[in-house]
Amino acid sequence: MIRSHPYARFSAAVITGIAATILIAGVALAHPESEGEHAGSCIVTVEPGSVTAGGKFTVAGNFGGASIFLVRGTDASPAENAVPDATTPAGSSFSVTFTAEATDVGAMTVWGLIPGSECGDADALTVSAALPDTAVELPDDTTVLAGVILVLIGVTVVGERLGLDRS
């Protein structure tokens, strides 16, 4: 019988649990089937559902002539006199790409609806703050080459001195 390390068994159990959770959550939270009936069969989706400030997201729907509203807050509705963030031409579907602004950080509700009708739907969007750019510039090739040459000279000098002392 082959015995495995306890950490290997524990890691395998954790990975299996995470995979099962992702699979079950993906099926349970799938959009739009999990939401049930939609008024007028109008469906709006936001992909991806989570972006960083400066990232792009797409709002799509299975109807045309839509007014799209980006509203701050979870399950928030647009104000009665709100101006849409975008409008789409009449047709059978739409797809509009937006860029998340730094002022949009937090939970948002994205609405796509046809004003004056029952056709409309909402989807959630989460905007997180962009990470600061902490990248360090790499030295150019000349600096690296000069450093390698200096190290080689130092090794050669030390090697010669050790060789001369042994003779």
More confident residue, 94 or 147: 94
Q: Of the segments 9-13, 25-29, 33-37, which one has the largest average pLDDT value? A: 9-13
Pair of tokens at residue 71: 């509203």
Sheet of strand 86-87: strand arrangement: 50-52, 120-128, 106-113, 67-72, 86-87
pLDDT over 90 (residue 99): yes
Give the count of beta carbons closer than 10 Å to the beta carbon of residue 46: 23
pTM of the model: 0.57
- pLDDT over 70, % of the chain: 71
Q: Give residue limits of the domains in the chain.
A: 1-30, 38-128
pLDDT over 50 (residue 34): no
pLDDT the model gives residue 30:
47
Give the count of beta carbons closer than 10 Å to the beta carbon of residue 107: 14
pLDDT bracket for residue 157 (50, 70, 90)? confident
Distance, CA of 21 to CA of 46 (rounded, Å): 22
CATH code for the part of the protein at 38-128: 2.60.40.10
Average pLDDT over residues 116-124: 90
More confident residue, 120 or 132: 120
Q: Which residues contact 73 (CB under 8 A, 6 or more apart)?
A: 106, 107, 108, 109
Residues 41-64 pLDDT 10s = 889 999 999 999 999 999 999 998
